[in-house]
Amino acid sequence: MTYRIDEMSWVEFDERRKNTNTVIIPTGAVEIYGPHLPMGEDGIAAMGVAERIAEKTGALIAPMMPVSDSKSLMAYPGTITVSSETFKAVMEDIVECLVVEYGFKNLLFITGHGGSVGPINQVGVKYTKSHGIHYAQVDWWRFVQPNGMDIFEEKGQMAHGHASEAGTSVMLYLRPELVVKERMTRVELNPQCFEYPDIMQYFPMDFRSPNATVGDATKGTAEKGKAIIDKCVDRIVEFMNKKWDI
């Protein structure tokens, strides 16, 4: 049985929405993700997590927004980007449909791309204030970090940098056929990026890394990917069951 709205007929959707107050909204990006991972990793991860949450809660899943503002990752070919303003406008239109047209009360965003967190939060807060919904957002790759302390071998950027141990493990579990294992590399972040850590600076990807990997992808395994997804899904479901009338 599918939980994805885009895979349902309108008749099925009309019936299924009577049984839940909750919609999960996954969002991704299409951007350079090392030489070994698909550029749609953020969305693939977000949808994989959303489907597992839906199976445990009965929540429906909105169509995924597959692109976001990824301008900082244009250093190598392949990134597809939209402006933050465009992304926010699309999110607002989707939420308008779900909340105003169809009456859903709980919105859970599974956000695969860090650049989307701010615009999504603005939309979520707006509808919380105007329509009294319950809104929550999981910034996926940042959520993985504290929950993966006992799963990943590396620490910090080497485990959680771009296309490193965490990201590679998740993809090896979800879509192993899309991972080119012989291209998995270990790349230390350019040391200049560590200078003045208390001051925010912009470093394009080609300054940070020679191949869009930051960290140790060679430590990634499907077993670690399954372990972190299972743990994170259980944590999110616990929150939903405790805080919401799903």
d(CA 233, CA 228): 8
The answer to the question of residue 60 being in a domain is yes
Asked whether residue 75 carries a pLDDT value surpassing 90, the answer given is no
Residue 96 inside a domain? The answer is: yes
Q: By three-state DSSP, how is residue 112 classified? A: coil
Rounded CA separation 29/68 (Å)? 5
Q: What is the pLDDT of residue 32?
A: 95
The answer to whether position 23 is within a domain reads yes
pLDDT tens string 194-226: 789 889 888 888 888 899 999 999 999 999 999
Per-residue burial over 31-45, b = 16 or more CB atoms within 10 Å of its CB, e = otherwise: bbbbbbbbbbbbbbb
Is 122 contained in some domain? Answer: yes
| Domain assignment present for 120 | yes
Q: What's the chain's average pLDDT?
A: 95
Go through 115-138 and write b for each residue having 16 or more CB atoms within 10 A of its CB, e for each that does not.
bbbebbbebbeebeeeeebbbbbb
6-58 pLDDT per residue, tens? 999 999 999 999 999 999 999 999 999 999 999 999 999 999 999 999 999 99
Contacts of 146 (CB under 8 A, 6+ apart): none
Give the tens place of pLDDT for each residue, 113-123: 999 999 999 99
- What pLDDT score does 231 carry? 98
CA distance 237 to 70: 29
Domain annotation covers residue 49: yes
In a domain, residue 64? The reply is yes
The number of domains in the chain is 1
Q: CA torsion 14→241→233→53, rounded to 10°? A: -10
Domain-embedded: residue 111: yes
Q: What is the model's pLDDT at position 49?
A: 98
Q: What is the separation of C-alpha 92 from the centre of its chain, rounded to a whole number of angstroms? A: 18
Which residue range forms the structural domain that includes residue 98? 5-154+228-243
Q: What is the domain-level CATH number for residue 24?
A: 3.40.50.10310
Angle 23-137-217 from CA coordinates, rounded to 5°: 110
Does residue 105 surpass a pLDDT of 80?
yes
